Structure 1
Amino acid sequence: MTMSMDKTLEVLNSMVDDRVIETYVIAGAVAALLYIEPTVTEDLDIMITFSSPSPGGLVTLGEIVPYLKERGYDRWEKEGLLIEGWPVQFLPASDALDVEALQEAEEITEDFGSGRPITTRVLAAHHLAAIAIRTGRYKDHARVIAFFEADVVSVDHLRDVVRRHGLEVKWQEFLEKTGHADVLDLNSNP
């Protein structure tokens, strides 16, 4: 990574401390960097849950934008709100797979370019792979293949997640589009 992420993560940690969001986890390409070779990314995907649900159960960024604006973060770049040089996309956990991935995320303490450790949470490799399979874009398929090639995803964990979250059709689409070997062998007994 060319740009330090520590200050961005400190702002996100403050959002949890101030109860603007319940929790967050690093997702997407930045999370994948902890497991596989770097890929180009211009933003930071953050999966979140809220401390208090919005009226009527509607998922909005209603509290996030004013909170960040009050702290001087009111510029949008691409699809993200610019926080300490990183465009941050806030992605509310939207289904059972997202919620499970967020709940089972790994807490890490890393130097994100500043020379001092920052504690944060990141999605586990098998959940990153499952979400990439569900999303199904070319870059997501490439990420799944990179996970397999680097041997960083547990095939057993991924098979379980794919089955429990009904991603069998998406897995077949991945196989057809990539020609990858069927390492999950979903036709075998659970």
Structure 2
Amino acid sequence: MDDSDVKIFKKEKRDDKFDEIGLISKMNEERGNGNIDKSKRLGSYLASIFLDKDVLLQKLRPIIGDKEYTKAESFQIKILMFFAAEYQLNSLLPNNILRNTAINALYDDIHDKAEEFYKEFSDGAEYSFYYLAVRKNDDISHNIGKCFSMLCGKGKENEEYASLGSELWSGVLEEVEEIIRRYEFVGMKK
């Protein structure tokens, strides 16, 4: 039986010109109200915090305590922090233009200032595990904690590391939200 002429969905022609004009208009609006510049500065600021070991330790001390972590565990702490920051940028910034601008500035700065970390980080599968943990959508913090424990090589059921991962996730979300709100983006929900 030949079904080459059967069409289940009608192919709609998209008006790409309209999409391009709308995007250009939105970009001009965001540039004009200062949001693009704020997004760039926000991404760079977050990178500077995360890449400065002393500042980072000071901010994380209430969560991680004085315990010495292995190099691999410290790497996982940083990865979780970047993932949480990106998650929060995507959650709170008013539109994709600003989200992408901030995230690109964050990763551009990491690439420029910590190339070795950037390569190791961008080649890793950690984000995939965290995306899956978030997509489960039942208790994100708990899921992230278990994932963090697993990525640290402790297994998903290690309470100490699962709790640490969960607390890091919540702490970074809170900190990044406070930072984002200080930038006072036009159009951001209060």
TM-score w.r.t. structure 2 length?
A: 0.24
As a proportion of its length, which structure holds more helix? 2
Bigger proportion of residues as strand: 1
Please report the TM-score for the alignment, with normalisation by the length of structure 1.
0.24
The answer to which structure, 1 or 2, has the higher relative contact order (CA under 8 A, 6+ apart) is 2
